[in-house]
Every structure is written in C-alpha cells, then in structure tokens.
Amino acid sequence: MSPAIADVLPLSPVQEGLLFHSVAGSGADDPYLVQIRFTVARDLSATQLRSAVAALLERHANLRACFRYRGLDRPVQVIPRRARVPWAEATLSEPAGSDTELRRLLAADRAKGFDLARPPLVRATLVHRAEGTELILTFHHILLDGWSVPILQRDLAALAEGRALPPAVPYQRYAAWLARQDQAHAEQAWLQALAGLEPPVPLAPDRAGEAAEETDLAEARLPAELTTALAGAAARAGVTLNTVVQTAWALVLARSTGARDLVFGGVVAGRTTCPECRRWSGCSSTPCRCASGCARRRACASCWPGSRTSRRRWWRITTSSWRRCSVRPAPAPGSTRCWHSRTSPAAPVTPCPPPRWS
C-alpha cells in the first residue's frame, strides 16, 4: 500500500447505496450534495477558519475518503493521509435582506459536483455579505449523515476558537463493528419480510433522455396543537411520530398509484445498536412495506419486519442484498422514487455557543 494512503476500508451499507445512485445518476444536480451554512463571528479571521477546516479533516479521517469501484469485486473507500480542502472566498455586493447573489453562488457551487474517486469530497467557501460572514461547507452525503452534523459543527467551532476537544472516535471502529454483524441472518429476516411483493408501480412516467430536473425541498410547519395531537396518537398506537408521517406517505402513494403493496425507503440512523457510533461523524435506509388496507387500519408499522425494533436490528445489509431479498423485477429506468422525511423542533438546538455559529 502506498505510504500516502492511511487506510482502505469497506463501505457501509448506506454508502454502497449512495455510491450506486451517484454512479447511476445522470450527472445533473446531485441530490446527495449537501451545503451547510455557518454564521461566523466577526473576530474570526479567514486564516483561522481555513486552518479549522483543515484540522477538521485531520481529526476525522473518514472526511478525507474517496471511493473506488472500477475493476473491483466490491467498492472500497480509500483514506489518504493528507487531503487539502479546496478553499474559496467571495464578497457579495447585494444589500442586506437580499439573497439573489448568494443563491446564484450556491447554485454554481452545487453545479461543480464531486468526483467520488478524487478526495476530498469536501470544499469550503467563505462569503462576506452585508449581514456578516458565512462559511459554507459543501460535502457529499456519502461521507456523513444528519446525526453527524452537530458533531461537525461542535468540532469546527472549537478548532476555530482554539478550544480543546476530546479524542475523536475512529471510523475504523465502526467498520470493524459492521464486519462482526450477521449478514446471513439479516438477509433471511428481510427475505421473509419482503416475500410476495408485487411488481413496482412507477410514481411518474419514464422520461429517459430528458434533462434532469433540479431537486427541491418542501418544508411544512405544523401548529403546536396538531403536533401534540399527532404525538399523542402515535403514543397510543405504540409507534413513533415518524411512523405516523410514513403511514401518511403510504396513503399518498396508494392513492396516487393504485398500488396494493407499497415499499419505500425509511431512514434508520443505526446509532442505538452501535452506541460508540453516537460520537462518530460519519444512517442507513431500510424498506418500509405497507400492504393494502393496513394504513387505513393505522397498522402500517406491523407490516414491517417485526416493526421498528427489527428494522433497527436488521438494517445492516447492502443494496445488492435488498434486491436479492425482494425477489421482484427491477424497476424500469426513471420509475424509482425515494422519500426521506425528518421531523424536528421549530427552534433547532445547537451545541455551539452563540453568536459565533448558528
């Protein structure tokens, strides 16, 4: 192994899925490219921030990873010993309250995308605006998930301000933990749970050859009274609030497609079954099955393998394994759609001290 390489590791199940979708994508707007905006205190210089971003990748080796698959039986992630983060600075002249230039800058940054085989899959842009300074970190979702963002935020703030941090949890421990899991047992559990699936039903017509549309984000804020009522209904049914949301999504799919047996992806963080991973900056998705009539009976959770508990237990299998377990024809090109919901408080909780970061 080259001395420039620190480690070569297998991919986690969700990383295999993300790699598959990224490679199979059209090359247009990548839905797995993430941009995080940090509001920066005026007393932090560009030099301090750039050094902090570099130190962040030194601290978390998995943020330096690139992904290789050509000519290999299984893809791997290669972690170099060093990776220089692309850095840019921009000064926007638009008046306070306007974000036209900022939106244009963010769109141009997204259009650059990432080559997953060339590290790092992270870049930084420092933007000076009338309202103040922002640091924009752009990364590919294959590197880390939503659970990891507060860890990244905390570490970046501490590194910029020169505060001490506890040792980071090495990603290798998570990889080793995954390697110890019983893949065969997990596959058998899902083979039973997904038995007898009907052929897939396209949610939208196949538009192969047409230009890909940009991704978009829809945000809905529920009144406190409705949120309380939904949480109470979930508690009485013995399910989570997210299960209620997913059941509603199943009803929408059923009415839109006429399908009697629905399967869509549900996100599982996987941290509860690997407690040490709670401190790791690095999720998986599992099939949610809802058969005809179960959503109307408010029993959608019972259609999933052993409900949420077993989904958490058996989430650790690869994308190719899901296909084997489903025993159904592959969907036609353009017919696959994915769903990701996240419920969160209206006022986000941040571990970083204001006003330096928000």
Which pLDDT score, from 0 to 100, does residue 269 have? 59
Residues 86 and 234 in one domain: no
Q: Which structure tokens are listed for 161?
A: 């301000």
Question: Do the bridges between strand 76-80 and strand 66-68 make them parallel or antiparallel, or are there none, so unpaired?
Answer: antiparallel
Number of Cβ within 10 Å of residue 272's Cβ equals 11
**Higher pLDDT among residues 148 and 84, named by residue:** 84
Contact 283, 145 (CB under 8 A): yes
Residues 158 and 295 in one domain: no
Residues 275 and 193 in one domain: yes
Residues 189 and 124 in one domain: no
Q: Is residue 315 part of a domain?
A: yes
Q: Which structure tokens are listed for 318?
A: 């690869």
Peptide bond into 355 cis (omega under 30): yes
Which pLDDT score, from 0 to 100, does residue 337 have? 46
Q: Which structure tokens are listed for 311?
A: 């989904």
Which pLDDT score, from 0 to 100, does residue 226 have? 92
The count of domains in the chain is: 2
Percent of the chain with pLDDT over 70: 70
Number of Cβ within 10 Å of residue 4's Cβ equals 9
Helix 183-193 to helix 319-326 angle (10° resolution) is 40
Q: Is residue 149 part of a domain?
A: yes
- pLDDT (tens digit, 9 = 90+) per residue, 40-56? 988 899 999 999 999 99
Residues 12 and 152 in one domain: yes
Residues 130 and 164 in one domain: yes
Residues 192 and 277 in one domain: yes
Rounded Cα–Cα distance for residues 300 and 303 (Å): 5
Residues 190 and 80 in one domain: no
Q: Is residue 268 part of a domain?
A: yes
Contact 113, 28 (CB under 8 A): no
Beta-strand ranges (E) seen in 41-160 are: 66-68, 76-80, 87-91, 122-129, 132-140
- pLDDT (tens digit, 9 = 90+) per residue, 244-300? 888 888 888 888 888 878 787 776 655 555 555 555 544 556 777 776 555 444 445
Going by C-alpha positions, the residue among 178, 158, 170 that lies closest to residue 61 is: 170
At 109, which CATH number?
Answer: 3.30.559.10
Residues 190 and 148 in one domain: no
Task: Give the chain's length.
Answer: 358
- pLDDT (tens digit, 9 = 90+) per residue, 161-204? 999 999 988 888 888 877 787 778 877 877 877 777 777 767 66
- pLDDT (tens digit, 9 = 90+) per residue, 111-140? 999 999 999 999 999 999 988 999 999 999
CA-atom Rg of the chain in angstroms: 22
Q: What is the DSSP string of 30-61?
A: -TTEEEEEEEE-TTS-HHHHHHHHHHHHHH-G
Compute, in degrees rounded to 10, the torsion defined by CA atoms 323, 327, 328, 332. 20
Q: Which structure tokens are listed for 201?
A: 């039903």
Q: Is residue 95 part of a domain?
A: yes
Rounded Cα–Cα distance for residues 247 and 290 (Å): 8
Percent of the chain with pLDDT over 90: 35
Q: Has residue 71 got a pLDDT over 80?
A: yes
> What are the φ/ψ torsions at residue 180 (nearest 5 degrees)?
-85, -10
Rounded Cα–Cα distance for residues 224 and 140 (Å): 34
Lowest mean pLDDT among 39-43, 200-204, 224-228, 238-242: 200-204
Residues 190 and 322 in one domain: yes
Contact 234, 241 (CB under 8 A): yes
Q: Is residue 283 part of a domain?
A: yes
Q: What residues make up the domain containing 276?
A: 180-205+220-326
Element (H, E) at 266: strand 261-268
Residues 47 and 128 in one domain: yes
Q: Is residue 288 part of a domain?
A: yes
Q: Is residue 239 part of a domain?
A: yes
At 239, which CATH number?
Answer: 3.30.559.30
Which pLDDT score, from 0 to 100, does residue 358 have? 33
Residues 193 and 253 in one domain: yes
Instruction: Name 255's Cβ contacts closer than 8 Å, sequence gap at least 6.
Output: none
Which pLDDT score, from 0 to 100, does residue 6 have? 93
Rounded Cα–Cα distance for residues 135 and 325 (Å): 43
Q: Is residue 68 part of a domain?
A: yes
Which pLDDT score, from 0 to 100, does residue 288 have? 77
Instruction: Name 195's Cβ contacts closer than 8 Å, sequence gap at least 6.
Output: 327
Q: Which structure tokens are listed for 76?
A: 């791997």
